[in-house]
């Protein structure tokens, strides 16, 4: 029975050492400082920030408004 208790204690000690090594490895991996600089800016900004988009949109809106107003005034 003593040998079984000794094996159990040795196994617990080995397991504790392995767990501590695992924790130490993960903390070492988190301590690594990596500087990653990714720039996806291709200039120009967003499409709705461009003035020509608003001008074209306004012109299309006016054309649709005029077309709808003319279509309602049918003279028989």
Q: What is the pLDDT of residues 21-39, one digit of tens each?
A: 988 888 877 766 778 888 7
CA distances from 4 to 1, 18, 55, 64 (A): 5, 21, 86, 90
Cα end-to-end span (Å), the chain: 113
pLDDT of residue 29: 72
pLDDT of residue 5: 86
Q: For residues 52 and 35, which has the higher predicted lDDT (pLDDT)?
A: 52
pLDDT category, 76, cuts 50, 70, 90? Answer: low
CA dist., res. 62 & res. 39, Å (int):
39
Instruction: Answer whether 12's CB lies under 8 Å from 5's CB.
Output: no
Percent of the chain with pLDDT over 90: 33
Report the pLDDT averaged over residues 28-51. Answer: 77
């Amino acid at each position: 029975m003593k040998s079984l208790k000794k094996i159990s204690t040795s196994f617990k000690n080995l397991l504790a050492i392995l767990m501590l090594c695992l924790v130490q490895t993960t903390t070492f991996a988190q301590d690594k400082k990596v500087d990653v600089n990714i720039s996806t800016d291709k200039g120009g900004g967003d499409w709705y920030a461009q003035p020509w988009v608003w001008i074209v949109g306004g012109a299309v809106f006016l054309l649709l408004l005029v077309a709808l107003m003319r279509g309602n005034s049918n003279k028989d």
